[in-house]
Amino acid sequence: MTASTDVPEKDANGPMLAADGTPLKKSLSRALRVQKMRALALVAPLLIFVLVTFIAPIGDMLFRSVENQIVSDTMPTTTAALADWDGTGLPPDQVFEDAYYDLFVAAERKEHTRLGSRLNYEQTGASSLFRKSGRGLDDIGEVYQDQFEDLDKNWDEAQPWAEMMGSEDWLAKEAAWEKGSRLPKFALRDGVEELLPRTAAQYAIFAGYTHNEERKSLLKEEPWSAVHTALYQDLSTQDVSGYSGPHAEMLKAAAALVASPDFETVSFKDGFGEIDKDWLEPEIWQTLKLYAPKYTSGYFLNSVDMKLTPEGAEARPENERIYIMLFKRTLFMSLVITCSCILLGYPVAYILSNLPARKANLLMILVLLPFWTSLLVRTSAWKIMLQQQGVINDVLVWIGLVADDGRLTMINNQFGTIVAMTHILLPFMILPMYSVMSTIPHSYVRASKSLGATDWTTFWRVYFPQSVPGIGAGSILVFILAIGYYITPEIVGGTTGTFISNRIAYHISTSLNWGLAAALGSILLAVVLILYWAYDRIVGIDNVKLG
Amino acid sequence: MPDTGNSDAFVAFERVQKSYDGETLVVKDLNLSLPKGEFLTMLGPSGSGKTTCLMMLAGFETATHGEIKLDGVSINNIPPHKRGIGMVFQNYALFPHMTVAENLSFPLEVRKMGKSDREAKVKRALDMVEMGAFGGRRPAQLSGGQQQRIALARALVFEPELVLMDEPLGALDKQLREKMQFEITDLAHRLGITVVYVTHDQTEALTMSDRVAVFNDGRIQQLAPPDQLYEQPENSFVAQFIGENNTLEGTVAEIKGDHCVVKLDGGEVIDAKPVNVTKVGERTRVSIRPERVEYNKDRLQEGAHTLKAKVLEFIYMGDIFRTRLEVAGNREFVIKTRNAPDQVRLTPGTEIEIGWLPEDCRALDAN
């Protein structure tokens, strides 16, 4: 063997090298890569399943707690115009004009009711106001549409409009279009945008809607009345005398009509006032301005009994507060349930861990028995047990402890919820405590006694400290399960025993205010994480053992 | 025979019986007493009742029948924590959530001792086992041998007069075990404490104890000092259990005082010392220690019986030679010879003659 074939183990002060001269680290990671890939491939199905069906929906749901694009998406120009408004009195006429066009399109798309529902969370009555307005907006446009139509039937025909607004090129393609194929992209005629800016813009919106959503030819569909309103606005400000494109005569005649003193007009503000007097109050406009941004803290403020006002966040009036109280109650009751689980579960776990294996297994089945019964059945059983005409009250009356007219109220209140949930969550406390206790060797107890400690000292100084990890694990499990519990408080909680989760469920399924539900859920998640963190700092998560 | 009713005994078991299930006796009629300062080992195979006896003495098990006395007082009804007996457990049982110093301080705390007294005693106990620098550590941070010392220190820190040890060296490796054996006996004699030690390791029992009680089947088979136990086993169980032993089966042909003749099953006749055979015609098992067998004719005593043997295997073990022979039909007959310069190394296949002194050859019961 010569020196040149020697394995270079290490150059002067560089990294360790493998036999072929590559750095050892690189060599090692290459060797381990196959193993890692295989491990990843084994985990992949579950990982993908969890990501797709669990993490992603939760992320989406939590995102809803701040998401507020519906306002600016539905009324883009209005929200832009409202940004310059100082928020006092009524907004300028321009805002009404923008609101007219925005809402008109939204109404055609049937989106105005969704926006109404969204704003209704912030201002009662917004929902019906928007629904009403969707129908009423046509009245404004029809004033102009009718007059133009009376002048020339062609103003209510699809073809002339298309010829006037669209480019030659596009018109040819549109004419050649056949049902089923792709519609040609609408293009404005050169110069029409300068001549009739509003009309061109509104027609383009109409064209986009007809093409993309109705999937119909613009040569067959006459424009909606907002285009006629825009035409009136253009004709009253623009000079069309120099126009020589298609239907120049028709347009010039219309311009003459608009210029004549007996042409009937209606201001946008009056039009809105006609639909509903609320449009002439500053409140709805303030709400629109407040909720114009794409992201809002409104849902979170709602979740802590506050609201967004032009002056900033402020507390809701006393009689509208509910969530803080519910959060406090949820935490308090979860704590009580956890404590009662510890008190009831500890002796059971102790006995189980000290019995011979055969007997312990038998008793363990009794502990696990509740898992084999439906949650609903167990909860309903408590309802039967605890109600005023129920088993426990009957027995108490029968042995004379309670008068017949003084039966105890033990259900549909906090007491009932605590009793039923303690029963349901008890196994989650006993199991981790049992598994920790069964690892404590009996010789510790004997050693302690041989050293002169009494039974109580032995328990408190030697046995108990070693069982704390089990209590910790059980407590975290029970507390976190309790804090998000839904079915049991729903059935036996009545009004005073419900949890925050019941409110979340209400907003998800009944009020459909998903944003608020998401905000409440996010807060609940944050509370759990903070408690978990605090627990880690105080007890240490390493001290938690499940077995 | 186990001694009974000794009035100046420090620890005494009197007619103690123990049953767990009410059907079988784990300990059958135990009588045992030991004076102050004695190091007594209970030796026996697992299930022989030795640990049960220890637990009864400690108070963790109650005797089904009989009395256990400590310093002349019956302790049957005294709970374990009031007995003041130190105990070292097999797995040390150091409390994992306390530091070494807290572990040692624990028995003093429960005795309501003042803080400065406690600290002084803990320090002295730690120094005693040469672990003075480890007071702040947790048991899990110590090696097995260190844990063992701490366990010992903890059992001694409250100055008990009686210390029980339940296979305390079982978890240690051989070298450490031998070192600790010496340390424990040394400490026990220095402090003058009485020790009851349980083990299933006969070497440990022989090297450490003043007396050894060999347990089997819930009874003490023999209670004697180590040398006596090894050289003069009283029955074939003890002979088999302690050390290496060669047995030859046969029938008693003649008994004359402390001398008897045994006719082996192969037809050979040998002289032996009758131990627990009483009448002619009785089946017996003759026991000879491997190192008492001699094949060098020059070294055999005058008049010694000899037997023909065939060498089957020669094993070189360094300090000794171990040779397996076929003697009177027994193919597991082993002899041990010292590796001396003049010692012959036997080749397998050779026919030799072996012999021994009649008093080294003990005729025991055939069970």
DSSP string of B93-147, one letter each residue: ---TTS-HHHHHHHHHHTTT--HHHHHHHHHHHHHHTT-GGGTTS-GGGS-HHHH
Q: Nearest CA to CA, how far is B8 from chain A (Å)? A: 25
pLDDT of B137? 92
- B174 pLDDT band, cuts 50/70/90, is confident
Comparing CB atoms, the residue among A441, A446, A458 nearest residue B60 is: A446
For the domain with range B11-236, which CATH number is right: 3.40.50.1010, 3.40.30.10, 3.40.50.300, 3.90.550.10?
3.40.50.300
Q: Residue A544 above 70 pLDDT?
A: no
- B1 pLDDT band, cuts 50/70/90, is very low
Q: What angle do CA B82, B85, B89 make, to 5 degrees?
A: 120
pLDDT of B140? 92
Q: What angle do CA B52, B53, B59 make, to 5 degrees?
A: 85
Q: Residue B7 above 60 pLDDT?
A: no
Amino acid sitting at position A293: P
Comparing CB atoms, the residue among B96, B107, B110 nearest residue A466 is: B96
Lowest mean pLDDT among A475-479, A539-543, B109-113, B153-157: A539-543
Q: How far is CA A515 from the centre of its chain?
A: 4
Burial class for A44, CB neighbours closer than 10 Å (0-12, 13-18, 19+): exposed
Across the interface, do B93 and A443 touch by the CB < 8 Å criterion? yes
Give A296-353 pLDDT, tens digit per residue.
888 999 999 998 888 888 888 888 889 999 999 999 999 999 999 999 999 999 999 9
Residue A57 makes CB contacts below 8 A (sequence gap 6+) with none
Q: Which of A473, A386, A478, A476 is nearest to A424 (CA)?
A: A478
Please compute the mean of the pLDDT values over residues A343-366 and round it to a whole number. Answer: 91
A373 — contact with chain B (CB < 8 Å)?
A: no
Could you tell me which CATH number the domain at A324-543 has? 1.10.3720.10
* Contacts by B79-83, CB closer than 8 A, 24 or more apart: B79/A449, B80/A446, B80/A449, B80/A450, B81/A449, B81/A450, B81/A451, B81/A452, B81/A453, B81/A454, B81/A455, B81/A458, B81/B110, B82/A452, B83/A450, B83/B58, B83/B59
d(CA B206, CA B243): 10
Q: What is the mean pLDDT of chain B?
A: 88
Q: Which of residues 443-462 of A touch B (CB under 8 A)?
A: 443-444, 446-455, 457-458, 461-462
Task: Assign 3-state DSSP to chain A and report helix, strand, coil percentages, each to 5.
Answer: 70, 5, 25
Give B236-292 pLDDT, tens digit per residue.
899 988 888 898 889 998 888 888 888 888 888 888 888 888 888 889 999 999 988
- A138 pLDDT band, cuts 50/70/90, is confident
Q: State yes or no: ipTM above 0.90.
A: no
- A190 pLDDT band, cuts 50/70/90, is confident
Task: Identify from A450, A457, A471 which residue to disrupt to test chain B contact, counting B C-beta atoms within 10 A and taking the largest count.
Answer: A450
Domain range summary for chain B, segments of one domain joined by +: 11-236, 244-364
pLDDT of A11? 52
pLDDT of A3? 45
d(CA B11, CA B34): 5
DSSP string of A334-386, one letter each residue: HHHHHHHHHHHHHHHHHHHHHS-HHHHHHHHHHHHGGGGS-HHHHHHHHHHHH
pTM of the model: 0.77
Comparing CB atoms, the residue among A443, A444, A449 nearest residue B80 is: A449
B170 — contact with chain A (CB < 8 Å)?
A: no
DSSP string of A34-78, one letter each residue: HHHHHHHHHHHHHHHHHIIIIIHHHHHHHHTTTB-HHHHHHSHHH
Most confident of A362-366, A371-375, B162-166, B236-240: B162-166
The H-or-E segment that residue A16 falls in is: none
Comparing CB atoms, the residue among A443, A444, A454 nearest residue B81 is: A454
pLDDT of A545? 61
* Pairing relationship of beta strands B246-256 and B283-288 according to DSSP bridges: antiparallel
Please compute the mean of the pLDDT values over residues A163-171 and round it to a whole number. Answer: 88
Q: Are A158 and A219 in contact (CB under 8 A)?
A: yes
Comparing CB atoms, the residue among A441, A449, A453 nearest residue B91 is: A441
Most confident of A19-23, B141-145, B296-300: B141-145
Across the interface, do A449 and B59 touch by the CB < 8 Å criterion? yes
Lowest mean pLDDT among A371-380, A446-455, B95-104: A371-380
d(CA A232, CA A254): 9
B21 — contact with chain A (CB < 8 Å)?
A: no
Comparing CB atoms, the residue among B60, B91, B107 nearest residue A451 is: B107
Domain range summary for chain A, segments of one domain joined by +: 16-63, 73-288, 296-320, 324-543
Chain A contacts of B80, Cβ < 8 Å?
A: 446, 449-450
A441 — contact with chain B (CB < 8 Å)?
A: yes
Give A56-99 pLDDT, tens digit per residue.
988 888 899 999 999 989 999 999 888 888 888 889 888 999 99
Q: Residue A259 above 90 pLDDT?
A: no
Chain A contacts of B111, Cβ < 8 Å?
A: 452
Give B331-347 pLDDT, tens digit per residue.
889 998 888 887 888 88
Residue A390 makes CB contacts below 8 A (sequence gap 6+) with A383, A384, A410, A411
Q: What is the mean pLDDT of chain A?
A: 87
- A13 pLDDT band, cuts 50/70/90, is low
- B150 pLDDT band, cuts 50/70/90, is very high
Chain B contacts of A458, Cβ < 8 Å?
A: 81
B154 — contact with chain A (CB < 8 Å)?
A: yes
Across the interface, do A447 and B95 touch by the CB < 8 Å criterion? yes
Q: Which residues does residue B288 pair with via DSSP β-bridges, in sequence order?
A: B246
Q: Which of A469, A473, A492, A491 is nearest to A481 (CA)?
A: A473
DSSP state of A406: G
Query: How many percent of chain A have pLDDT more than 70?
Result: 96
Task: Identify from A439, A444, A451 which residue to disrupt to test chain B contact, counting B C-beta atoms within 10 A and taking the largest count.
Answer: A451
Q: Nearest CA to CA, how far is B151 from chain A (Å)? A: 10
pLDDT of A540? 72
B244-364 belongs to which homologous superfamily?
Nucleic acid-binding proteins (2.40.50.140)
Across the interface, do B93 and A447 touch by the CB < 8 Å criterion? yes
